[in-house]
Structures are given as C-alpha cells and as structure tokens.
Amino acid sequence: MNEVPLNHFLIVSTALFFIGVFGFLSRRNLVTILMSVELILNSVNINFIAFNEYLWPGKMDGLYFTLFIIAIAAAEAAVAIAIIIHLYRHYRSIDAEDTDTLRF
C-alpha cells in the first residue's frame, strides 16, 4: 500500500464530498438529500483513516474518530427518517418544495 500516495486518497475523498454536496444542493426529495449527507460523512471517514495511516501511524485517533462519526451518522439517519415520516403524514409528500409553512 506504499505505492499509493496520500494525495490520491485525499482527492478521492474530496471528489466524494463534492458529489455529496452536488446531490444535497440539486435534489428535492428529502430521502435523497439524506443519502447525499451520508456520502459526505463517508468522505470524511476516508480522510480520517488515510491521515491516521500516513501521518500518525503510531496512534489510533483517526480510527476512533471514524468510529464515533459512524455512530453519530447512525443516530442522525434514524432521527432524520423519523422526521421525514412525520412530515409525510402531515403533508402527504416529502418534496422539499412542498413543506413551506414557515415561508412568508
């Protein structure tokens, strides 16, 4: 694994992050927006693991951060899906354009 430089990992995770940003900005369905957020969180995890492996191989901080991010992502996905289901009961739609009660 030494022949792959650190930069390539970082470029892959940057590309994944901005693919997630693109989906977050362009999608209208709340479930697909949630999926884009998962992609963004995963790109951050790749970054943490790559930095841990290449820059601080004697420590495991990146590994623990990745574990905690995965746990937080699971909690976030569960809460987001509960909110989406509640919204669906209210509006019969999960399109981000339809939930405009707070818009004046």
Partner 1 sequence: MSVSAMFFYGLSAAVLISALLAVTSRNIFRSAIFLLFSLVSIAGIYFWMDYQFIAAVQTIVYVGGIVVLIIFSIFLTQQAGVDLPTPLRGRLFFAALASLCGFLLVTLQLLAHPFRKGAEPAMSKDMKAIGSGLLSTVENGYALPFELMSILLLAAMVGCIVIALKPNTVTE
Coil vs helix vs strand at 95 = strand
Largest CA-CA distance found in the chain, in angstroms, rounded: 57
Of 37 and 104, CB closest to partner 1 = 37
Of 11 and 103, CB closest to partner 1 = 11
The residue type at 16: L
19 and 46 Cβ atoms separated by less than 8 Å: no
7: which 2 tokens? 């930069």
Question: Which residues within the stretch 77-96 sit at the binding site for partner 1 (CB under 8 A)?
Answer: 77-79, 81-86, 88-89, 94-95
Round to whole Å and give the CA distance between 7 and 51: 10
Where do contacts with partner 1 occur on this chain (CB under 8 A)?
1, 3-4, 6-8, 10-12, 14-16, 18-23, 25-29, 31-32, 34-36, 38-39, 42, 45-46, 49-50, 53-61, 63-64, 66-68, 70-79, 81-86, 88-89, 94-95
